[in-house]
Amino acid sequence: MSAAYDAIASIYDADMGVSMTLPDIDYYAGIARSVGGPVLELGCGTGRVLGGLLAAGIDAYGVDRSCAMLAQARARLGPAAPLMCMDMRRLALQAGFALALLPYSLPTYLADDGDWAALAEGLRSALAPQGQVLVDAFIPRPVSADGGWTRDYARRQADGRWLVRHKRIQPLGPDRNRIERRYRLRGAFGGRSLRTCETIRTYTPEQLVTITERHIGAVSRIDFDYGGPALEGGARFCSLLAKMR
């Protein structure tokens, strides 16, 4: 996971950052206010969500495994930004957080029960008593097994260059996908295409509830698309709020 995000750190905001068109930051901020107390964002990346929380006056801290992504976050948020380089499966914090966020489908990088158990162990030390955890994952869609590349987008950048991304998804099983991405940006990446490859685990809403309750605690709230209006073709994201046991 870290290697793929290290590679795209400089273009992440123009890539996946702007691909989120739903009101996720407002949703996270609302949950944070309802819970009260400091917030720990896991997988904070370049600081898109963290910056929104801080701008909303929320006491928030960010953790990410990728130092390259954190460097982008530091440039965005300033030298005093509360950022830590740490794997979410190896948290070493005793800080009394009221809420931990796993935003923007971060749980898809938790591959099995061992990963979830390691995450939960670290969260028990990081969270205050009665602390809560928000778990957010995209809702899986059928994947074609033809192995072909498809173009996701061509986006004109501020300097006039076009960032073009193609993607290929290969099913590895009922809940595992290999995702390859290929990027082109004139004058970048040494004149070659930049390629990334990662394997994720998908979770239906029912599976997400089951594994969250197995490792974190009872789910008290379920929302789709961050409380936004229903979209044609169905919801894209499912978010769960659970109390850490």
Residues 18 and 67 in one domain: yes
Which domain CATH number covers 121? 3.40.50.150
Residue 224 Cα to chain centre, angstroms:
16
Are residues 51 and 27 part of one domain? yes
Could you read off the pLDDT of 44-82 as tens digits, one per residue? 999 999 999 999 999 999 999 999 999 999 999 999 999
Residues 98 and 215 in one domain: yes
195 and 214 both lie in a single domain: no
Q: What are the pLDDT digits (tens) for 105-140?
A: 999 999 999 999 999 999 999 999 999 999 999 999
**Residue 162 and residue 133 share a domain:** no
Determine what percent of the chain is predicted with pLDDT higher than 70. 97
184 neighbors 176 (Cβ within 8 angstroms): no
What percentage of residues in the chain have a pLDDT greater than 90? 90
Residue 2: pLDDT over 80: no
The answer to whether residue 142 scores a pLDDT higher than 60 is: yes
Single pTM value for the model: 0.94
Structure tokens that stand for 140 in this block: 């899986």
The candidate with the shortest Cα–Cα distance to 91, out of 65, 59, 58, is 65
Whether residues 208 and 196 fall in one domain: no
Does one domain contain both 33 and 50? yes
Q: Give residue 169's domain range.
A: 150-201
> Do both 124 and 21 map to the same domain?
yes
Q: Are residues 54 and 101 both part of a single domain?
A: yes
Reported confidence tier of residue 143, pLDDT bands at 50, 70, 90: confident
**88 occurs within a structural domain:** yes
Same domain, 116 and 12: yes
Question: Domain for residue 217, yes or no?
Answer: yes
Structure tokens at 21: 């068109």
Same domain, 162 and 42: no
Same domain, 16 and 32: yes
The answer to whether position 145 is within a domain reads no
Total domain count, the chain: 2
Alpha carbons 37 and 21: distance in angstroms, whole number:
27
